[in-house]
């Protein structure tokens, strides 16, 4: 089980800039991931653009749902993965946890394999 804590959060500005500049991108439905392998343990960041979802309450709800679905992923998917992973939401409407789960499973398999 992957836990979102300070150690696993991607917050360093240099790391994020490097990830967006050199990382590989995959998209599936309303989610997009950017992955960059490195020698450190897996760090994950989540973003929901203000331009697409203007209400902060809705943005935070979508972020919480994405983080929860990442936490619920089978541990085999994220085990022994090192580097930086950024999950971007690029849908225009609120989505359910079930839809996020389905999309995230396919996207993680596509990203790491």
CATH number of the domain residue 54 falls in: 3.30.230.10
Contact assessment for residue 25 and residue 87, using Cβ atoms and an 8 Å cutoff: no
Range of the domain at 61: 6-112
1 assigned to some structural domain: no
Q: What phi, psi does 10 have (nearest 5°)?
A: -90, 105
**Is residue 78 in some structural domain?**
yes
Total count of domains within the chain = 1
Q: Which two tokens stand for residue 69?
A: 């679905």
d(CA 113, CA 108): 8
Q: What is the pTM of this model?
A: 0.90
Q: In the predicted model, what is the mean pLDDT of the chain?
A: 91
pLDDT digits (tens, 9 = 90+) for 29-68: 999 999 999 988 899 999 999 999 999 999 999 999 999 9
């Amino acid at each position: 089980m992957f836990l979102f804590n300070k150690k696993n959060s991607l917050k360093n500005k240099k790391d994020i800039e490097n990830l967006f500049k050199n990382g590989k991108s995959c998209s599936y439905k309303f989610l997009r991931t950017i992955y960059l392998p490195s020698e450190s343990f897996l760090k994950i960041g989540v973003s929901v653009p203000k331009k697409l979802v203007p209400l902060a309450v809705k943005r935070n709800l979508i972020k919480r749902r994405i983080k929860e679905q990442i936490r619920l992923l089978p541990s085999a998917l994220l085990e022994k993965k090192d580097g930086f992973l950024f999950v971007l939401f690029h849908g225009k409407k609120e989505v359910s946890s079930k839809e996020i789960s389905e999309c995230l499973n396919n996207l993680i398999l596509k990203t790491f394999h």
